[in-house]
Structure 1
């Protein structure tokens, strides 16, 4: 597998991956996190310079957002981060399911790029919680986003 930056040429495929991810989430008890239309095409267009693809045998195995930046939602959590050093964020991880372990591969790759990562997931997203713990992330607390406090904060240093 290899990681490459996404481009506007990948937009249609990326949106297809997210459509399938929303379906998977709904089928696995997590209807609320992304709903019917998150992430939107407009959001992915805006963020295309921070979107990455995990490629296996010329097919997309996983899509994710990665940037070294502060996330406003992470400023105050009901808990404590592992440290207050500059960090990278990873958002919108979605696997196509064609390669077992693709999402783990992506998180491991990000850690080699910047070894202080903060992420979050929704309380109903059990597969992502298990993935984060498997990849060495520690649960640090919860926070509010979009009017609900069901967001779980994770950190790996």
Structure 2
């Protein structure tokens, strides 16, 4: 992502960010994953809150927003209970959420992991069982599958963790 820039999102980015999420929902729908974000996730209010708390980042090219992701310090209430496995570490962590691209930029999850590891050596992330592209990206970054967590709507998600050791 040489010509791309990653920065903290501002409220002025909100409309472009929501367009990125709309494009990501359409991509998921077309690629066998219509259920993860449905028709309206993430809602505007959630993204406004992420921006206000400094949790949302955008990837820009020539000033236009083409991707977004959230870095959220734990504890995440949805990660408090995990089924079919255990977390490797109970140390403080950063969760990566709402990773999305409009398809114009690539390597967004890699950028999110790099930024997160600069803050904390313990990361967690989850994704829908039908989101094969995200599962691939997660595994390429060295995360280990840990079990199943349940999110806001009580639906299951595959949970992954990365505990950096000299990375």
Q: Compute the TM-score of the two structures, normalised by the length of structure 1.
A: 0.92
**Per-residue deviation, 1:68:** 1.6
1:38 to 32, 38, 41: 41
Listed one character per residue, the Cα deviations across residues 65-107 of structure 1 (whole Å, up to 9, x for unaligned) are 1122211110110111121100001100001222232332222
Is the partner of 1:94 in helix, strand or coil?
Answer: strand
Higher strand proportion: 1
Distance 1:128 1:72 in 2: 22
Distance 2:37 2:106 in 1: 23
Are the counterparts in 2 of residues 108 and 135 from structure 1 also a CA contact under 8 Å? no
1:71 to 62, 69, 76: 76
Distance 2:154 2:55 in 1: 26
List runs of 5+ in structure 1 lacking aligned partners: none
List runs of 5+ in structure 2 lacking aligned partners: none
Is the partner of 2:66 in helix, strand or coil?
Answer: strand
Q: Partner of 1:112 in structure 2?
A: 118
